Amino acid sequence: MHDRTPDPAAAQSAAITARRDDAAHPALSVAQLRKTYAALTAVDGISFEVRRGEVVGLLGPNGAGKTTTINMILGVLSPSAGDIRIAGIDLAEQRSRALAQANFAAVYAALPGNLTVEQNLRFFALIYGIPHLAARLEALLRQFDLDTLRNTKCGVLSSGEQTRVALAKAVLNRPQLLLLDEPTASLDPSAAQTIRERIRRLAADDDCGILWTSHNMYEVEAVCDRVLFLSRGRILLEGDPRRLPAEHGAETLEALFIRLAREPLSAEERTR
């Protein structure tokens, strides 16, 4: 008979190899992604990557296709065509495994207000199957300065406090990809600056790739390493938000944003 006793050293080696293989892939890879509704094309064959430790801004006017793109990456919507890979895992073929590497936060996705901060985090930790749950919760409460609020119901927290809880929830599973849809939209300048600093640290310290949507061009310049300008479902421009304006004859990123929002077709012709 063969000895079938598990070899701990071999198992550890296999786990290390798997982590190294994951690290070889970008946090997110999107190829020829398309979403159509009858005669309407919401997303029209876009391709891009988000590397680990990088914050990428997804910019564009209302109706450009940003939220549709995020919903496809989250598996909420099925693409009409194209491929999505999260940490190298094909979302269409291994949905649960791919989504286990991602998380999401948005100002409109509020946590249950009748639960306390700790109860909310514990609830989602159980859903995600977080190991060493108690230690993970304590670490996050400290990391996001929530320890004194642990027994406070989320419904009575300030906007800034609610955003910190939402971010703590979004990193419970140590995601390799974090999707943030207008995370600071309802915050005052001081609270928004604090959140921006925390998100930059998440990218740097946890090697997490972040896809961030915002209409605040000052914020985008302060936080994002790279931006994608989306209009009518297509990516028109891509690059460093601090250099793009000068490269395209605009004084500021906001001026470039306004021009692209008003004249997307002429901008697209110039990039061909």
**Do 182 and 124 fall within a single domain?**
no
> Read out DSSP for 78-124?
--SEEEEEETTEETTTSHHHHHTTEEEEETTSPPPTTSBHHHHHHHH
Residue 61 lies in a domain: yes
Domain holding 224, by residue range, is 24-101+178-272
pLDDT at 142: 94
**Do 254 and 161 fall within a single domain?**
no
Digit-coded pLDDT (tens) for 219-271: 899 899 999 999 999 999 999 999 999 999 999 999 999 998 887 655 555 55
Average pLDDT of the residues of the chain: 88
Element (H, E) at 142: helix 133-143
Contacts of 32 (CB under 8 A, 6+ apart): 45, 46, 47, 81, 82, 83
pTM value is 0.84
Task: Name the residue with tokens 């209009």.
Answer: 231
> 189, 222 in Cβ contact below 8 A?
no
Domain edge (last residue) among 154, 174, 194 = 174
**Do 248 and 260 fall within a single domain?**
yes
Digit-coded pLDDT (tens) for 182-228: 888 878 888 888 888 888 888 988 889 999 998 889 889 989 999 99
Domain edge (last residue) among 174, 193, 228 = 174
Digit-coded pLDDT (tens) for 135-190: 999 999 999 999 999 999 999 999 889 999 999 999 999 999 999 998 888 788 88
**Do 168 and 40 fall within a single domain?**
no
Residue 3 lies in a domain: no
Q: Can you name the residues that pair with 48 across neighbouring β-strands?
A: 30
**Do 60 and 73 fall within a single domain?**
yes
**Do 129 and 222 fall within a single domain?**
no
